[in-house]
Structure formats: structure tokens, C-alpha cells
Amino acid sequence: MHGPSPDTLHPFNGEPHTVFLKNVITRPTIEVGDFTYYNDEAHAAEFESRNVRYHFDFIGDRLKIGRFCALAQGTTFIMSGANHAMTGFSTFPFNIFCDAWRETFDPATIFGHLKGDTLVGHDVWFGANATVMPGVTICSGAIIGANAVVASDVPPFAVVVGNPARVVKLRFDEDTIDRLLEIAWWNWPVEKITRHLVAIQGADLGALEAAAAEDNSRLDAVGQAG
């Protein structure tokens, strides 16, 4: 028993509208985990150039997306290169247009307030046309509503909507969330995930915890037999 290969470019019956995202990423400043997919009727394979905006190597910020994330059409990440200087009276980027204007540029006016890497955990679902602003951390299990603009960090298993995005609820109580983060099924080998899809997709936490403990039980049994 096994699932699809994470190296498959078009995992949805070969249709070009869906890609396992890591297979269309070429830049070392973008990292995407296995089985995370992007769906776009016309431009799925162009995610790197169309949906990661203002991502310049000289800035140095990184985009990291975990495993088993689902990105609907139009999910966009605004990176730190979008920032303009805000320390003076004007925010106009004079320095990018000609040499005479570059001479007066003070890099600290921009680099001094950059927010760093944009981080997405595992099993995060992005609704259509969601936008993530620079330096945001979205924790595992979160749901990002359609058209949401995420400008601040999102807790694990939170549902956020709106502009700016706000938490409208947690998907589970705090104890359940802690236990789910401890289980971290998204880190299991794909063979184990395939065996326990019913528990992963279900709502019986005890069954999922039993599945998580399965390999330890087998190792204990092998050790005792030896």
C-alpha cells in the first residue's frame, strides 16, 4: 500500500490544473514539502513567478511551506521586497530608477524593518485568492479563508478570514490541538499515512494516537522476540 509519489508533477489524473508544488520550484529561497499542491485552471505550473511576488535574492528572505498543504487558485505570497522606505516623508522608491537617485539611498531605510522569512506549517488549507504578507508564520492545521489577507501570525488549527485576517475560531479545543501537534501525522512515512487514512481523516483522537504509537509497539515486540 502506498500513496502517489511526491515527485509526480500532475497528481490529479494527470490534469495540468493541479501540481505537487515542489516539482515546479526552482529557486533555493523557496522550499515546499512533499504532497503540497497548488490548483489553478490556467497557471498551476507558474506558481513561482506569478504567486510569489517581490521575492528578490538580494533581500535574503525565504518562503517555506510544509507538507500536505492545499493552495487554491490565486494564493499569493507577498515577500519583503515589496516594502518601501517609511522612515521619511516620501515612500516613493527613487533609488530604483536612475543613478543620480541611487546615490542618496540609505539601505537601512528598508532593511532595518524587514520582517524575515514567511513560514507555513503542515496541513494548511488556503482558500481562493488568499494573500500572505511578508514575515508571517502560519502554523500547522490552519485554514485561511478565501480572499483573506494574512498580515499577522496564525496559531495552530485556527480559522482566519477577512482583511486583515482575524481568527474566528479554533478548529479544536487546546488539549486536542496539543495532542495533534504531538502526533504530527504529516511527518509519518507515506506508507504509514496510507495505512491510517481513516484515522487521519476521521474525528477519533484515540484512534489516531493508537496509529501514531503503532511503530513503537512493533519495535518493542521485535526487541522482545530477539
Q: What SS3 state is found at 219?
A: helix
Q: What percent of the chain has pLDDT over 90?
A: 81
Active site residue 10: no
Kindly tell me if the per-residue pLDDT of 212 is higher than 70: yes
* Alpha helices for the chain (secondary structure H): 47-50, 99-102, 108-111, 174-183, 190-195, 197-201, 205-212, 214-225
Q: Is the dihedral of CA 76, 78, 82, 84 positive or negative?
A: positive
Q: What is the pLDDT of residues 51-74, one digit of tens each?
A: 999 999 989 999 999 999 999 999
- Find the mean pLDDT for residues 123-150: 98
CA–CA dist 154, 119 (Å, integer): 10
pLDDT tens readout for residues 11-44: 999 999 999 999 999 999 999 999 999 999 999 9
Considering only 67-81, 107-121, 154-168, which range has the smallest mean pLDDT? Answer: 107-121
Is the peptide bond between 164 and the residue preceding it cis, with omega within 30 degrees of 0? yes
- Active-site pick, 10, 84, 113, 196: 84
Mean pLDDT over each residue of the chain, to the nearest integer:
93
Per-residue pLDDT tens digits for 151-167 = 999 999 999 999 999 99
Query: Which amino acid is residue 132, in one-letter code?
Result: V
pTM for this structure?
0.92
What percentage of the chain has pLDDT greater than the value 70? 94
Residue 220 has pLDDT above 70, yes or no: no
| pLDDT(176) > 70 | yes
- Residue 149's closest CA among 171, 124, 131, 137? 131
Please state, as a whole number, how many other Cβ atoms lie within 10 Å of the Cβ of residue 87.
Answer: 11
Mean pLDDT value across residues 177-185: 98
Q: What are phi and psi of 45, to 5 degrees?
A: -75, -10
